[in-house]
Structure 1
Amino acid sequence: MSLAQETPAMPTNDHIFDVAIIGAGPVGATLAALLAAEGIAAAIVDSAPLPPMELPAFDGRCYAIALASQRILVRAGIWDRLPEPPCPIRDIRIADGRPGERPSPLSLHFAGEEVGEDAFGWMVEARALRVALNARLPSLPSLSVHAPATASVARDEAGATVSLSDGSRFRARLVIAAEGRASPLRRQAGIRVSTLDYGCTGMVGAIAHERPHNNTALEKFLPNGPFAQLPINGTAEHPHASAIVWSDRTAIAQRALAMDDAGYGREIARRMGDHLGAIRPIGRRWSYPLSALHAHRYTATRLALVGDAAHGIHPIAGQGLNLGFRDVGALAALIAEAHKVGRDPGSPELLARYQAARRPDALMMLGATHALERLFGNDLAPVRIARRLGIAAVGRIPPLKRFFIRRAMGTA
């Protein structure tokens, strides 16, 4: 069936795109690159400028990119544009403990070689991914980049009119909200969300340490929240370095963030342990309140939500961004399929298929991370003993262990 037969008529006085993406963060920009690489006419709008730039100074922020997400970034032409090689995560250790104490000997070890892969994922600095995205977007002939610009969107049954702050406007058959948790497009569409405040704060940064990390990540469950040490590439100044993600009660986090580097480093060491020798904080400290969010619908007329506009989860499993990349992979595949046969990329049928593909996965991940937070955030002795036995049991049941490995890689 031809596009003209299947797609409602649209006004011809404005330029028409198949897709308009509002928000050029990692999720929105990757989706734009994937679609444009397929020859799909797309536009992307963001309030920040996106010129190619030199690698800025190290600031401590990093992303854990799962294997499935890395494959999406490769297909989008972004991975090869990273200005420096990412650091592979080849092993993951999981332990239970308390600050200042040795972790339980009942721990769990995942090795990528157990499933025939060289790495579970890679650590990519936020600044490096931004450089790669900025380099990729302007190189795509099918993509129109509008940045810096703000957009006003009016949707109707036939499509959407996108009016930009510079006075220009265009039409699109589908609008994709990639603006983050406070998505104006989601609010405009009247899509309700459920939220949960964990009463905790996440702290993100980096440390230099005395011993090599050997590409091993540590996830340590503590009474007030999880602590993760994630391997990153060293530099001449800091040959051994790691990223940290530390979750704690907000009052404790505020006290820690107010400490000088020596005091902050001591608190990190109390939680991480001494397996990497002496440590000290490097780069900036970042913090954010921990909460969960889930949209009751992922779609509306001519609208789809992706990434944090649709869902936000606890960082206990390090899967927030990877969940957004799974949205990208599913939606891009549906739009590309429709494009090949001349079908409407914003049709109710396509949007229903997208929601059916993504909402159950996100709900399962939301439920799993919430259950983990509740289970591992409990310091009652019977619960602590039971979860330590459970951690040890996973390592002794190969099918169960392989399932958790696949989930960590984003391939299950």
Structure 2
Amino acid sequence: MNTSAPARAAERSGGSSVRIGALVPLTRPGWVEAGRHLLAGLELAVHEVNDASGILGQPLELLVRDTAADPRRAEAAVDELAALGVAALAGEYHSVVARAAAARADALGLPFLCSSAVLDELTEQPTQWVARLAPAQSHGWRIYAEFLLGAGHSRIAVATQPSVYWASGARTLRDHLAPRGGAVVDLDMSALTPAALCDELVGHRATALLLLVGHPEPAVPVVTSVRGDERLAGILIGAPAGQPEFAEWAASLGGDGTAVPFLRYLPEHLGPLGARVGTALRDRLGEAPSFVAFEGYDTIAVLADVLRTQGEDRASTAESWPRVAVEGTRGRIRFSRTPGISVWQWAWPPVQVVDRDPAEPGRFRILHTG
């Protein structure tokens, strides 16, 4: 397990600080760039909390653990952090990993505010211990399906890999599109090469291909192959999970990576807090912050508010989820019980469908909001 310098200092402090465990993918096969943005948001918010006298006069500390997109590693990290006396858990990007962490946190009675993972069924049964900032997958992907229909796409192909997350996304798309005249065909990338995928797209007369696969493999070679196939010149490539948000996508694909619509959880215009935080995050990251960095910041903003009013008692923190009312970078954050969602949910963060502008790949175009 990787532990940051501030985390090591916290572990030596003998309980003189208020500690939050942070679960972040920082090494492969985790999405390292997403983890870096998430951690930047978490750390910036901790820095600002401590500049404002901490939590009831005590410094706030992060104990950072690298999940590396491994559910078992996340479970072990939750056990370790609980034993170290953290007041709550924060973070995680990968949905399958967050689900494992949430189940363990629920079993241990440890509050967990999930920053970025969207899988609807984050826990098998309703729990008081877990809350989430990111919108549920079914909510965001239904908005994406509405975008597809509005853009005239009814014959949709999805390039998939075996995963609970990808299967859930494909099911949401199919359930929303089918009653409205849309058809979805699954193309299993564990059995197809990128070239063979192109043949399937032609055969199915698909007008849109959605990438429900990992990045960079096989997403990058699939995009390259489809963009280079003259038979598919008019096809839309989409990536609802958000791969094109990050600079690594643009660096890998260049112009081929533009005009690929994806989901992003930001408002059209940031308010004063969001604008200030965005500037600070850009300074930390050396690049434009993704929505994931804002999710990290908002996570600490919520937990700091709860800890100031409830102290470090874990049960009191869990009981406070329905009373949260915190001004975040993307709007006012409140949690509620939402049908079909097993955790306390912010319903809803702003949702956009955006893409990279072919004329200016560093600029994002807002195509649809929900």
Bigger strand share: 1
Q: Under a length normalisation based on structure 2, what TM-score does the superposition of the two structures give?
A: 0.34
Bigger helix share: 2
Q: Under a length normalisation based on structure 1, what TM-score does the superposition of the two structures give?
A: 0.31
* Larger RCO of the pair (alpha carbons < 8 Å, separation 6+): 1
